């Protein structure tokens, strides 16, 4: 068996990242791990399992009635109640333990009502409190190790909260009363004979640690996308064609992987059973062992060969996003300026064409001002204003592109390097509007699979498209 594929390394200007510990073949699984924590989004809490994020869950949680659970998660808890056993194998992602269940009940009756973002924050901090409870009450060292793994993620935070965004600190203070009420309810029902005051503080945590946890979640959680059919359309009844997020998941290794607009790994989730699907060939019992991947398992699969010592890189955004939009989203969402090879080249082209680069001072200043609010009400208004500003700029840029004549479009296409064009032809999903990335599911595969819509493309189809000029 080959040795470990990756190792931690301090990357200048990028913090701790992952590098290839040996030569990695295309199609090889670089990272495979279960989530440390998962949480369902407020928008999808009535259609996706709160414990494993599976789509189509329909059974209300018997404990809170505020979220739904899938049949598998209910079966995994049968006999102890769906929310009472943090050691259950279905609680590997701690999506809906006892504290979170109590938090849902508390939030439903809280006045004034918590905003949707604060309910999601309460859900996440409740999951963290669940880990503390498992450690403090049950002596579960693994639970404490899982929480510590989250705390080791970026950003670095000082003992007095140095490095925490003021918005995270404000949010932690806002949800603290509801979190403590949820923990108190859990203590009252499960640890009534223990000294409540000290136990409350030990399980609920303090504002600084919770603000740090929110900062870690903001910077490191992977958005789990809503289900899409193979044609790229939504499988639920919404009419919005944006990539909507059903929940979030935090991982110990994968959350360390830095961004590149030309990634060398593609991320595959298993919340909808993709990794165990025979059609995709990610898991072959005769090759990988009899046990199928778990629901919160994530795999990073090498798109191409990665030589030993090279950094492992993934794209945080759809690879199809144009330069200006991509750079604005990376700055606003993840807080960094991307200077990868692709951004440098496309920014130069945009400057040459007199087009947007994503670095316009006017937009940056307006977006910064819009996002500087501190209190809850103005925070939501500010985020909405900033999002509207981004949409306005994106719409203007798309209108400008549509107005170009055929000669100008041909000129721009002609300057694209052959290697650049080939990367897109080979690695970008051919389904219109998908934006996913193709990767081989294993090292000997003769096909590629999209990490978002699941589209399977054989090598023969790819070469035929190249020969016909279809891309």
Domain end call among 185, 205, 222: 222
Q: Is the pLDDT of residue 158 over 70?
A: yes
CB 41 within 8 A of CB 122: no
* Residues 68 and 151 occupy one common structural domain: yes
- CB atoms < 10 A from the CB of 195, how many? 10
* Residues 207 and 344 occupy one common structural domain: no
Kind plus residue range of the DSSP H or E element containing 399:
helix 376-402
Task: Please compute the mean of the pLDDT values over residues 340-362 and round it to a whole number.
Answer: 88
42-51, 88-97, 198-207, 356-365: the lowest-pLDDT one: 88-97
* Residues 397 and 433 occupy one common structural domain: no
Q: Is the pLDDT of residue 192 over 60?
A: no
86-108 per-residue burial string, b: 16 or more CB within 10 A, e: under 16:
bebebbbbbbbbbbbbbbbbbbe
Q: Is the pLDDT of residue 360 over 50?
A: yes
Nearest CA-CA partner of 129 in 39, 220, 28: 39
* Residues 342 and 453 occupy one common structural domain: no
CB 313 within 8 A of CB 257: yes
Higher pLDDT, 210 or 401: 210
Higher pLDDT, 468 or 374: 468
Percent of the chain with pLDDT over 90: 53
Q: Is the pLDDT of residue 157 over 50?
A: yes
Q: Is the pLDDT of residue 391 over 60?
A: yes
Q: Which residues contact 341 (CB under 8 A, 6 or more apart)?
A: 262
**What sign does the CA torsion over 96, 100, 105, 108 have?**
negative
* Residues 91 and 212 occupy one common structural domain: yes
Task: Please compute the mean of the pLDDT values over residues 310-333 and round it to a whole number.
Answer: 91
Q: Which residues contact 148 (CB under 8 A, 6 or more apart)?
A: none
Please check whether residue 178 lies inside any domain of the structure.
yes
pLDDT tens digits, one per residue of 55-104: 988 899 999 999 999 988 887 654 344 444 444 433 444 678 899 999 99
**What sign does the CA torsion over 176, 177, 178, 180 have?**
positive
* Residues 382 and 425 occupy one common structural domain: no
Domain end call among 377, 397, 416: 416
* Residues 125 and 46 occupy one common structural domain: yes
* Residues 344 and 455 occupy one common structural domain: no
- Angle formed by the axes of helices 207-220 and 166-190, nearest 10°: 110
Task: Please compute the mean of the pLDDT values over residues 447-457 and round it to a whole number.
Answer: 91
95-99, 237-241, 269-273, 344-348: the lowest-pLDDT one: 237-241
In this prediction, residue 377 carries a pLDDT of: 52
87-101, 169-183, 331-345: the lowest-pLDDT one: 87-101
64: containing domain: 37-222
Distance CA 149, CA 372 (A): 30
How many independent structural domains does the chain possess? 3
* Residues 149 and 78 occupy one common structural domain: yes
| Residue 375: pLDDT band with limits 50, 70, 90 | low
Q: Which residues contact 465 (CB under 8 A, 6 or more apart)?
A: 425, 430, 471
């Amino acid at each position: 068996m080959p040795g470990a594929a990756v190792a931690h390394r301090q990357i200048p200007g990028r913090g701790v990242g992952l590098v290839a510990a040996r030569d990695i073949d295309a199609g090889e699984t670089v990272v495979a791990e279960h989530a440390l924590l998962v949480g369902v989004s407020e928008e999808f809490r009535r259609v996706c399992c709160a414990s494993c994020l599976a789509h189509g869950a329909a059974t209300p949680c018997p404990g809170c009635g505020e979220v739904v659970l899938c049949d598998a998660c209910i079966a995994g808890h049968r006999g102890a109640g769906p929310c009472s056993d943090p050691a259950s194998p279905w609680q590997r992602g701690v999506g809906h333990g006892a504290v979170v269940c109590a938090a849902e009940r508390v939030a439903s009756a809280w006045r004034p009502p918590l905003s949707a973002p604060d309910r999601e924050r309460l859900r996440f901090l409740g999951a963290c409190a669940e880990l503390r409870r498992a450690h403090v009450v049950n002596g579960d060292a693994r639970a404490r190790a899982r929480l510590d793994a989250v705390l080791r993620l970026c950003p670095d935070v000082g003992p007095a909260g140095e490095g925490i965004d003021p918005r995270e600190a404000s949010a932690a203070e806002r949800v603290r009363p509801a979190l403590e009420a949820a923990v108190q309810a859990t203590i009252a029902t499960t640890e009534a004979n223990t000294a409540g005051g000290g136990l409350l503080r030990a399980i609920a945590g303090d504002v600084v640690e919770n603000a740090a946890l929110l900062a870690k979640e903001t910077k490191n959680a992977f958005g789990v996308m809503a289900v899409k059919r193979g044609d790229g359309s939504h499988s639920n009844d919404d009419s919005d064609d944006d990539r909507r997020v059903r929940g979030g998941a935090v991982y110990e290794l994968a959350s360390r992987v830095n961004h590149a607009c030309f990634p060398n790994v593609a991320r595959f989730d298993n919340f909808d059973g993709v990794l165990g699907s025979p059609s995709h060939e990610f898991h072959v019992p005769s090759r990988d062992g009899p046990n199928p991947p778990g629901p919160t398992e994530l795999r990073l699969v090498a798109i191409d060969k990665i030589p030993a010592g090279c950094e492992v890189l993934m794209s945080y955004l759809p690879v199809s996003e144009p330069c200006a939009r991509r750079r604005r989203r990376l700055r606003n969402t993840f807080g960094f300026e991307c200077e990868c090879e692709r951004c440098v080249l496309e920014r130069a082209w945009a400057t040459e064409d007199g087009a947007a680069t994503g670095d316009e001072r006017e937009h940056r200043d307006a977006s910064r001002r819009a996002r500087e609010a501190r209190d809850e009400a103005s925070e939501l208004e500010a985020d909405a204003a900033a999002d509207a500003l981004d949409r306005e700029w994106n719409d203007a840029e798309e209108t400008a592109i549509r107005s170009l004549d055929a000669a100008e479009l041909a000129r721009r296409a002609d300057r694209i390097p052959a290697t650049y064009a080939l990367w897109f032809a080979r690695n970008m999903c051919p389904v219109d509007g998908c934006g996913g990335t193709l990767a081989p599911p294993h090292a000997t595969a003769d096909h590629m699979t999209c990490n978002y819509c699941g589209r399977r493309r054989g090598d023969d189809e790819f070469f035929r498209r190249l020969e016909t000029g279809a891309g």
